[in-house]
Structure 1
Amino acid sequence: MVPSNPVPAGVRVGYVTTPDRVKLRYAIWPKSAGPHRGTVCLVQGRTEYIEKYFETIADFQARGFAVATFDWRGQGGSDRLIGNRTVGYVDRFDDYWTDLRTFHAEILLPDCPPPFYLVGHSMGGLASLYATTRDRVMFDRVFLSAPMVCLHGMEHSIGGFGALAETLSFLGLGAVPLKRRGDKRPDEAGFLDNPLTSDLLRYTRMVDIIRADDGLYIGSPSFRWLAASMKAMVEANREDFAGRLQIPLLVLAAARDTIVSTPALEQLGLRLRNGRHVVIAGAKHELFIETDPVRGQVLAAFDAFITNQTR
């Protein structure tokens, strides 16, 4: 128990195993107030874990939604895939589709009230985009927070760097981490130049969570993760990709994002046929753990796009 991060009421925690035998940790919550509105399926970004979203889960519960979420393979409380537990790794980006499809079939459908709404952040946002191209009936609407369609400053180099990472993986270096200054464990001293949030209390809460359970920590990405993810990002930036997204979709971008490319998100938003994009002024990458004024805009956008559509 982390005092700064109380568990929302009514949680049920368990594990589900994918067809390729990866064990995923999941949690589901009932609504806490209001009329029944269905279930929010919340999928996380790289390095994240269920506990990081407790505040946001409670926000969804209070709006009348049940909430279902899980840790992607290789992070959180799910199976880690290589010997070094602190290195982000995945064999193929399609493996995240396997995780989501398994969770939908084994947990959402039998245990959670419909309709289902997909909410994805960062890497989970990119996985959500791919999910909508694979199955158009799994979710009624999709709400994305800074989806990882391109990395900041790499709008013209993502393909080349991805090819390099693929080559290094082929040469047997796939599990080797690309070490970066920002991948160390969070601590209070890192707040001033952190790229995630402007909110000191919410940043400190992330520090508290990792200190309480260091097993949740993920640091640098591996070259195999980079190769898989950059290949997926290249595809998401093709002009014809947006035309394959037929589910109603809202994309939120952070104006001060230094992790995901906001210009790339704006280009995707302009191409959408059944959706739109909104840039949140003053926001850093982690829209759900930003300051109250930023979170207020994010939740207002959620209400306009999803909550109010359920009445």
Structure 2
Amino acid sequence: MTGASLQSAPYFHDVAEGPDGAASYWVRANDGTRLRMVHWPGAAKGTVLFFPGRTEYCEKYARLAGDMQAAGYGMAAFDWRGQGLADRPTHRADMGHVASFDEYRADVAAFVSALEGLGAPKPWFLIGHSMGGAIGLRALHDGLPVQAAAFSAPMWDIAMRPVIMALRGVLLPLTAALGMGRSFAATTGPYKAMAFEENPLTTDRAQFAYMARQLAQYPDLRLGGPSNMWVRAALQETAALMARPAPDMPTLTLIAGREKIVVNAVIETRMASWPKGRLITIDGAEHELLFEALTRRQAALDAILAHFDAHLRPEPATRSQA
């Protein structure tokens, strides 16, 4: 695959507010699912692979791409299957749905192949946010070719209401047995615009407005709640990941002091047994650490960039063929 063979995909420059030069492409997974990738070039130090969370899409991270570019890194972001402009579930396009997180592993393989074809400058680095933190951790175990990784509020377990948490081992198998795997999970439903005052994502009104403006202008980017099958698959995947030893990778993980989406205690336990890992808590922050108030966002960004800079090393030279 070469850059010339990749088909151009839509990219909403007007709401992205990112650096010039972004190129958007359709990418096919091995099962035929059409995905979307945005590449912001201009790297001197290498390329950051950004793994977004559930419901997210490439434009949301265009400002971060500008920060990375200013620091000497290019960046690529991805629309996982079922969200952004990637192919959606045929039974309900506004529902987050997979039968297994192995489907996201196929997405990662497709994106890596596309980036190789584009010649995205190496070395590569990983940032995984929320669900992207689970996909990213699995990718590290699978040998993702990065030199260092950073996680932002990674989804290594899902925060649930106490009664659902207590019964989830019973409820989720029951929903499957009753043919409800493709129904919205309990307490979730179709997309609904959220008021700033009730949001669990950020304490910063301007950053919240930026995200809301994108979804208001381009409704095709919206996504509602997950299916029961997605929740079951997510819990199976996170349990499997937490049962494995930490990968041999220099890793920085950031968590929010006011986290409500993922489970900080599980992240803390994981990082305590990560030989090359470091954990930082951003006090007062909500789940979206890279969309927080300026001082908190800058603290997270500075920590990530310092981590990547500390692990810059030349890619090994390719042996010439005789």
Q: State the partner residue of 1:142.
A: 149
Q: State the partner residue of 2:121.
A: 113
Q: State the partner residue of 1:19.
A: 30
Partner SS, residue 310 of structure 1:
coil
- Alpha-carbon deviation of 1:280? 1.1
Partner SS, residue 117 of structure 1:
strand
Partner SS, residue 69 of structure 2:
helix
Q: 1:162 to 1:51 in 2, by over 3 A?
A: farther
- Alpha-carbon deviation of 1:184? 4.0
Task: Give me the whole-angstrom Cα distance separating, in 1, the residues matched to 2:124 and 2:167.
Answer: 37
Q: State the partner residue of 2:196.
A: 191
Among candidates 170, 179, 185, match of residue 178 of structure 1: 185
Amino acid at match of 1:260: V
Q: Is the 8 A contact 1:2 1:212 kept in 2?
A: no
Partner SS, residue 121 of structure 2:
coil
Structure 2 gaps of 5+ residues are 1-11, 314-322
Q: State the partner residue of 2:4.
A: none
Q: State the partner residue of 1:95.
A: 103
Task: Give me the whole-angstrom Cα distance separating, in 2, the residues matched to 1:250 and 1:183.
Answer: 34
Q: 1:13 to 1:159 in 2, by over 3 A?
A: farther
Matched, 1:44 2:52: yes
- Alpha-carbon deviation of 1:109? 5.3
Q: State the partner residue of 2:40.
A: 29
Amino acid at match of 2:287: H
The size of the alignment, in residue pairs, is 302
Matched, 1:225 2:225: no
1:201-216 superposed matches below 5 A: 201-216=206-221
Among candidates 276, 280, 283, match of residue 281 of structure 1: 283
Structure 1 gaps of 5+ residues are none
Task: Give me the whole-angstrom Cα distance separating, in 2, the residues matched to 1:227 and 1:181.
Answer: 14
Deviations 1:152-189 (A, max 9, x none): 257997695256324423442221012536974334xx
Q: State the partner residue of 2:304.
A: 302
Among candidates 169, 179, 182, match of residue 176 of structure 2: 169
Q: Is the 8 A contact 2:246 2:273 kept in 1?
A: no
Amino acid at match of 2:222: Y
Matched, 1:9 2:9: no
Amino acid at match of 1:39: T
Q: 1:220 to 1:127 in 2, by over 3 A?
A: same
Task: Give me the whole-angstrom Cα distance separating, in 2, the residues matched to 1:301 and 1:117.
Answer: 14
Task: Give me the whole-angstrom Cα distance separating, in 2, the residues matched to 1:200 and 1:236.
Answer: 35
Q: Is the 8 A contact 2:148 2:308 kept in 1?
A: yes
Task: Give me the whole-angstrom Cα distance separating, in 2, the residues matched to 1:206 and 1:4.
Answer: 9
Among candidates 267, 275, 290, match of residue 265 of structure 1: 267
- Alpha-carbon deviation of 1:4? 5.8
Bigger radius of gyration, 1 or 2? 2
Deviations 1:78-130 (A, max 9, x none): 00023211111012111111101111122245430000101110000011111
Q: Is the 8 A contact 1:196 1:284 kept in 2?
A: yes
Amino acid at match of 1:31: G
Amino acid at match of 1:201: A
Task: Give me the whole-angstrom Cα distance separating, in 2, the residues matched to 1:115 and 1:55.
Answer: 22
Task: Give me the whole-angstrom Cα distance separating, in 2, the residues matched to 1:231 and 1:154.
Answer: 18
Q: Is the 8 A contact 1:159 1:231 kept in 2?
A: no
Root mean square deviation, CA, Å: 2.2
Q: Is the 8 A contact 2:191 2:222 kept in 1?
A: no
Identity %: 32
Q: Is the 8 A contact 1:39 1:67 kept in 2?
A: yes
